[in-house]
Amino acid sequence: MISFTNVCLDTFGYALPPRVITSEDIEGQLSPLYQRLRLPAGRLELMSGIRERRLWPQGTRPSQAAVLAGERVIGQAGIDPKSIDCLIFTSVSRDMMEPATASFVHEKLGLSSSCLVFDISNACLGFLDGMVMLANMLELGQIANGLVVSGETAEELLDSTLAGLLADPSLSRKDIKPVFASLTIGSGAIGLYMRRVREGE
């Protein structure tokens, strides 16, 4: 079991996209498919437990979403962005393959040129992995503090999944099962400022 004695989870922050789309909305868009396959309404929410998800305005980049959360964390923590030693970007979504999306977040947050920046991607566990990575560096005394951020943008995948399901009239119930997970995703952003424990804490 991983254990840390010198790590403080100081400040969390998040940003929610403005657009809400319900599972009922998605099923409404898929009504031709539902009717053809005789799927009952409410199936998506029943099977996933997800009533609604949120989406950013079209064209929002993962780095832009992560910056919103990062700015909130920095503001709530009352810290100077230039004092941050490490930034880890942990989303599945990325601005591009290279350079690291963390480099765009770094620039937009105004972090120092000596700040270590990199991406970690591991599906739904990416943010947790980023926390563990940062905690290890803090525990070893390699850094004094750091920021983990994630900015997910699900719009393109959700839209393309819906379009694909509607475009192929030969799909069966069995055919649509593998794409079910793509109908459950949503967008959002989160950040966490972590630091070494101060003396007396």
DSSP, collapsed to helix, strand or coil, labels residue 20 as strand
Decide if 151 contacts 14 (C-beta within 8 A): no
| Active-site residue, 98 included | yes
C-beta pairs of 158-165 under 8 Å, 24+ apart in sequence: 158/21, 158/26, 158/55, 158/182, 158/183, 158/185, 162/26, 162/29, 162/30, 165/30, 165/33
Point out the catalytic residue in the list 98, 115, 156, 201: 98
Residue 138's identity, in one-letter code, is: L
| Active-site residue, 115 included | no
Point out the catalytic residue in the list 107, 115, 124, 152: 124
Looking at the annotation, which residues are catalytic?
Answer: 98, 124
